Amino acid sequence: MDEHPTPSSSDQESGPGERHRISAMVFEHIGEAVAITNRSGRIMLANPAFARFVRQPVHHIVGQQLDHFLASHDPDLHPASLPKWQQADFHEWNGVVWLHCGDITPVPARMTLTDIPVFADQSHPLIACFTDLSSQYRQQRQLWELAHRDRITGLPNFRSFEEKIQHALLASGHKFGHILLIHAGGIAEIFGAHGHLVGEQVLRALSTRLKHLCPQPEDVAYLDSGVFGVLLTGREHQEALALARDSLDALMASVQIDTQHFHLKPHVGVCDYPESGANTADLIRHARLALHEAELAVTPGVRAFSLEQDASVRERLTLESHLSNAVKHGELYLHFQPQVSLEKHHCIGAEALLRWHNASLGHISPTRFIPVAEASGAMLRIGSWVLDEACRQQRAWQKEGRLHVPLAVNVSAPQVLEDDLPEAVESALSRHGLAPRWLEIEITEGLLLTDSHRAVQTLRKLADLGVRLALDDFGTGYASFSYLQRFQFHRLKIDRSLVQQVAERERDAAIVRAIAGMGHALGMEILAEGIEQTAQAHILGQNGCDTAQGFLYSRPLPAQTAGDWIDHHAHR
């Protein structure tokens, strides 16, 4: 037997030289953009795909620093979040960056940076791989435009206006500002008498005039039904009133469309912050009250909101007083609204909904008392009670042998922004012997825009407990795509505002379809809430929604009735 056999052709083909040649060919021809740098970030090699990506020839790229190609374009991308590849203990980083690509706008890409352990002294080179995210971000931008821009005027819409006010309040500190609501009286009559084409032209003309008047044109919005909104930050009250009067003059001037001249009867309501309110809903409501008062006048005019005139303030104080003792007096209770599969129509879960009955006030709608509870600080105590009671009831159903389905509990922004929410959830689960998978925690979309860092920390801790996570009211503020990538929501709940007219408005159906596609791509179940008609359910199912909730299936029910309903509609 030959002790030294001759190497076979297959052995020769897989030798070091051949493998090196194949690796070099792969590096040159692979479609993914790749650059290899030394430990200080200086590029030693770049493949043609990287050269095409950054629109520079390879010989210009080699020798440059990698961070020369990284652009500070994404507001979510802070220097602290970039990889520290110069550090000796660096091994791998993965995240979204923006790349300078010649003269065009920086391009989003996912970068994976990994060290290559080839030297004993740990001065390993690094390999950076880039995946183009342009199409995803372009789709996100188109979806954002649909959700945040008015189709007729091109101005920010009501949803966007609310966000701007919310951001202004968060950033204001001790500063002040004003909200103006401007109604173009008579615009409905123009639409009715002359048709949508002429009416839309008039609205666009009015939009242009208001943008020219305002210090920041992007702070002008078109809300609906002939009402424009203007946000003025850091302006004195007299400046706001002056702009209101200028707006009146601008809108009172005739608008010419072809040979026709149209005259409008505008009115303006003015509200200042923080004196007139500390949250977006209150400020818009107060501005509407001022606008309504202005419209009561015979001639066009301006009215400023006054707290003393607001009967709702007195109602708020009354509700706050009674809410402070609602838990102690046993006035709160839960109803439960089933959730169903749109495909098979069986029950897949339920949501716990808070109710309040006071001996003096009677039954109070959640839309009245929940905002008061959140503003007054009572929601922390009430929220803890809701969480505990929901876990108790869920476990009671299970002990009765009823169908096991997840129970959703909506937690408020104050609860999420408190550090002890995960501990409170864990305590409630333990106290009632409930497995985490049977509890779903819902947070609202707007919360991600207020304090995203703290929300991230809280949601990660909740996910570690094993509870389900749902993003509620999606579509009211449209959270950034990057937010959805940060944590694994199990469910995305499309807000009822997109459901109400989905059967009549193709635009709403298109938004639902886009949201569902994005959610499914991220592994989330899509639930539509507020369904009241069979036609809505049919359209939503066709456009990607998996599950549904609303009066079409069941109103919120007391515990015993809800348990019976769930069992009756079980899929065993």
Task: Say if domain 153-309 classifies as CATH 3.30.70.270.
Answer: yes
What pLDDT sits at residue 137? 83
- pLDDT for residue 78: 43
Beta strand 92-101 pairing with 70-71: antiparallel
State the Cα–Cα distance between residues 334 and 347, nearest whole angstrom: 19
Q: What is the mean pLDDT of each run of 10 residues along the chain (572 residues)?
A: 50 64 82 89 92 90 89 51 66 85 81 78 80 85 82 91 88 77 93 91 95 89 93 88 92 92 94 85 90 82 80 76 91 96 92 96 92 84 95 95 92 81 95 96 75 76 93 68 72 88 87 89 92 93 94 95 91 60
Q: Which residues pair with 350 in a beta bridge?
A: 338, 407
pLDDT for res 201: 95
> CA-to-CA distance for 231 and 176, rounded, in angstroms?
11
Helices (H) and strands (E) in the chain, counts: 21, 22
Same-fold call for 20-132 versus 153-309: no
* Torsion angle in degrees (nearest 10) through CA of 479, 480, 481, 485: -80
CA distances, 92 to each of 10, 27, 62, 267, 486 (Å) = 35, 20, 22, 60, 18
Residue pair 496/529 in contact by the 8 Å Cβ criterion: yes
Determine the pLDDT at residue 48: 93
Predicted local confidence at residue 75, as pLDDT: 46
Could you give the 3-state DSSP secondary structure of residue 132?
Answer: strand
> Element (H or E) spanning 59, and its range?
helix 58-61
Pair 55, 36: CB distance under 8 Å: no
For 445-517, list the strands marked E by DSSP.
468-474, 491-494
Residue that has been written with the tokens 């159903």 in this structure: 397
The predicted pLDDT at position 409 comes to 97
In this prediction, residue 483 carries a pLDDT of 64
The widest CA-to-CA distance across the chain, in whole angstroms, is 115
**The domain over range 20-132 is classified in CATH as 3.90.226.10:** no
329-568 is classed CATH 3.30.420.40: no
Q: What confidence score (pLDDT) does residue 312 get?
A: 62
Strand order in the sheet with 177-185: 220-224, 227-233, 177-185, 265-273, 302-304
One-letter-per-residue 3-state SS of 181-238: EEEEECHHHHHHHHHHHHHHHHHHHHHHHHHHHCCCHHHEEEEECCEEEEEEECCCHH
What is the pLDDT at residue 80?
A: 44
Q: What dihedral angle (degrees, nearest 10) is formed by the CA atoms of 409, 414, 419, 423? A: -30
Domain ranges in the chain? 20-132, 153-309, 329-568
User: In angstroms, rounded to a whole number, what is the distance separating the alpha carbons of residues 133 and 334?
Assistant: 44
Q: Is the overall model pTM greater than 0.85, yes or no?
A: no
pLDDT, position 3: 52
DSSP secondary structure letter of residue 569: T
- Pairing of the two strands 491-494 and 265-273: unpaired
The runs of H, that is alpha helices, within 400-420 are 413-417
* pLDDT for 14: 57
Region of 108 on the Ramachandran plot (φ > 0 left; ψ -120 to 50 alpha; else beta): beta
